[in-house]
Amino acid sequence: MITLVHFHSITSGNTNSSFTVDSNGTLSTAAWLDYETTPSFALSVLARDSSSPSSSQKSVVMEISIDVTAVNEHEPVFSSAQYSTSVAEDTAVGTSILRVTAIDQDDGLQGEIAREGRVV
């Protein structure tokens, strides 16, 4: 005799109620995921059979690891809204005259800033 199995619930690791599991065992996102806040989850999912009487039901817990991958969701922002300087016309070639900085809130490669200089 085959007994139906119902995926009952996520019993732990569901930070911010980020996931749901239905009775068929389909795990779905229930909220927006943010790599910078929670880069991974370790969920415990409970499955219970539908034996009758309920006192004879058996259950098992499965540990599920989920890694959230970073995406490039933030644009770089200059540290100042405007930069300005003066330079003498006889300044030697190669003289540093100003340093501009920018930050990006993304982690990893998405947060690295490539600088390209051009005068407009």
Is 90 exceeded by the pLDDT of residue 58? Answer: no
The model scores a pTM over 0.75 = no
Mean pLDDT along residues 22-31: 91
Is 70 exceeded by the pLDDT of residue 7? Answer: no
What residue ranges define each of the domains in the chain, with the CATH number in brackets?
5-67 (2.60.40.60), 72-120 (no CATH)
Mean pLDDT along residues 71-100: 90
Mean pLDDT along residues 38-53: 89
Q: What is the DSSP string of 3-68?
A: --EEEEEEEE--GGG-EEE-TT--EEE-S---TTT-SEEEEEEEEEE--SSGGG--EEEEEEEEEP
The 8-class DSSP code of residue 80 comes to S
